[in-house]
A and B are shown apart, each in its own frame.
Chain A
Amino acid sequence: MSEIVENADPAAPTLVTGSALKQALPAALSVMPVAMLFGVLAARSGWSVLDVLLLGLLGFTGSGQFAALPLSESGTGFFTLLLVTASINCRYLPMAISTIRRMPRSAFARACSAHMLGDEAYACERDDEPIDRMLQIRSAIFLTWVLAGAFGAVIGGVLPEDWLSNDFNLGFPASAVLFYLALSQLKARRAHIRRHQVAGAALIFLCAAASLGLILTLGPVYFWIPGVLLVALLLNGVRA
């Protein structure tokens, strides 16, 4: 696999072959079973393959898609659905804001790359990721999710009703990948948090405890924005 990345001039053309895909591959593979599970469940609810494909392309939100499925099945209205899915996915707000500096200048490319931002892509990317490489990482994970969902819808109609026990957690590998990526990013950023190793680790534990407290208080859907703000305040306060 060859790679030519010209970082000296941001305006210079950047050619990345293979290695961006290699970087995104583990995360892309890990979301496949989850996306397929979504496709299977959607097919069971009477959705066509085209429905699942379009929802994946236009409404790529992972957990938001899983939440929307039973709600739409029960006839929930548009604004209720919007409120629920926006609440679940509000974690993307700080992610999007923190990636503005590495976004393409073209409005269309910028909108597409923002739409394709997911947890796994965000955790895979580096702060100094070149634009082309970032787009490749996001596209790889996004397309894997969309196509695996459609494939899940195809097989959803073929599999018997009791093909898989409800107790079998297909989503765990994706959680393990997210957990690994989040910890790796924190490890890499530890120097920015605090120069002393022990103090840095203690601060991360304090922030984690604060985040857990908010999850227990507000629930795992509504804790995101307060959680990110509280932890950012703690980190910024200690640094200042």
Chain B
Amino acid sequence: MNGAVLIATAALLITSLLVRVVPVFVSMPLGAGGLRIVGQILPTAVFINLAVYVAYSEISAAPAAAATSLLGVALLAISGRVGLVGSMLVGAALYYTAAALIG
């Protein structure tokens, strides 16, 4: 393991400690309101940002293909008729087909 790899590994390990490990050891006295924020509001806020982030990242790179595919995935997720694997396959098929056709 050379120096550059060692530095990268150390930086990523400390990143993981800072953003994931340390927070779960910090005890916070939470009332009913705090529990609602941590248990319901915060996860919902994370998922909204995650969905927007994924859509933004993919649509920035390949606008037509990603928009078509993610729209299909969104409809499947909302309808709930096709499971995760089926939706991923449909989404990937739509994306790669559209990318091949549009270029």
Q: Which residues of A are at the interface with B, using a C-beta cutoff of 8 A?
A: 26-27, 29-30, 46-48, 50-51, 54-55, 58-61, 64-65, 68-69, 71-73, 75, 77-78, 81-82, 85-86, 89-101, 103, 107, 110-111, 114-115, 117, 119, 122-123, 127, 169, 172-173, 175-187, 189, 192-193, 204, 207-208, 211-212, 215, 220, 223-224, 227-229, 231-232, 235-236, 239
Contacts and interface: CB of A to CB of B under 8 A. Distances in A.
Query: Across chains A and B, which 4 residue pairs bring their CB atoms closest together, nearest first?
Result: A59-B12, A176-B91, A81-B11, A183-B77
Given A176-B87, A177-B84, A220-B53, A59 B40 contact: no
B37 A123 contact: no
Given A98-B42, A115-B20, A176-B88, A86 B15 contact: yes
B91 A180 contact: yes
A14 B45 CA distance: 30
Interface of B is mostly: helix
B4 A95 contact: no
B19 A89 contact: yes
Contacts of B10: 78
A224 B49 contact: yes
Contacts of A69: 8
Contacts of B13: 58-59
Given A54-B9, A215-B52, 20 more contacts: A26-B88, A27-B84, A29-B85, A59-B13, A90-B19, A91-B50, A97-B42, A101-B38, A110-B25, A115-B17, A123-B50, A172-B91, A172-B95, A176-B73, A179-B54, A180-B88, A211-B48, A215-B56, A224-B49, A232-B37
A118 B39 CA distance: 18
Nearest to A42: B5
Given A93-B23, A111-B21, A114-B24, A192 B51 contact: no
B47 A100 contact: no
Interface of B: 1-2, 4-5, 7-21, 23-25, 37-58, 61-62, 66, 69-70, 73-74, 76-78, 80, 83-85, 87-88, 91-92, 95-96, 99
Contacts of A82: 11, 14-15
Contact of A81 (B7, B39, B84): B7
Nearest to A192: B40
A98 B9 CA distance: 27
A85 B14 CA distance: 9
A236 B33 CA distance: 10
A232 B45 contact: yes
15 contacts: A55-B8, A59-B11, A59-B16, A61-B15, A78-B11, A96-B20, A176-B69, A183-B74, A185-B47, A211-B52, A212-B52, A215-B53, A228-B42, A231-B48, A232-B44
